[in-house]
Amino acid sequence: MKLEASKQKEPVAAPVAEVQAAKTVALQAAPMHLRLLAAVVDFGLVSLAFVTVALLVTVNADVLPNLREAEIWGGLVFAAIAVAYLAISYTLARATPGMKYALLSLRTFDGQTPTREQRCRRLGAFAFSMMPVGLGAVWALFDEQHLSWHDRWSGTYLVRV
């Protein structure tokens, strides 16, 4: 007499898209007004540093550049100050002063505190997100979970503390 092996159904793994969708549903990003507050504070601090550098250069310069050169150098210096500000804030302090003022914290999609590597990845993603005239940040207004491009690319997002 032969007994047939009972056919047991093996559990089927959920498709990757469904698993990621389940993770993103649970995300509770910080309210837009707090993220905007943090951005305004950070922009103000970067602008203050830029104006300080511009005044020091103007006072100590023998010959002032023409208007076109001043625009180009001003844009480059402002961008350099902003990158340095964000790099120092993300790598050393784990948050910008604006984020601390608005009581925001950075988290991974798993709810963990991001590592230094993840924070650096967010900084790089932020640069690419801002390149097309800030379109990556504006995207958060239309996104279902209100996440920007750099949130999604880095796997991190802001939460209320």
Confidence check: pLDDT of 94 > 50: yes
Q: Tally the domains of the chain.
A: 1
Question: Does 1 map to a domain?
Answer: no
Residue with tokens 């949130």: 151
Q: What is the DSSP letter of 155?
A: T
Residue ranges with strand state E in the chain: 104-108, 156-160
115-156 pLDDT, tens digit each: 999 999 999 999 999 998 889 999 999 999 999 999 999 999
pTM above 0.85, yes or no: no
12-42 pLDDT, tens digit each: 555 555 545 545 446 889 999 999 999 999 9
Q: What is the pLDDT of residue 100?
A: 97
Question: Does 5 map to a domain?
Answer: no
Question: Does 125 map to a domain?
Answer: yes
35-64 pLDDT, tens digit each: 999 999 999 999 999 999 999 999 999 998
First-residue to last-residue Cα distance in the chain: 68
Domain residues for 118? 29-160
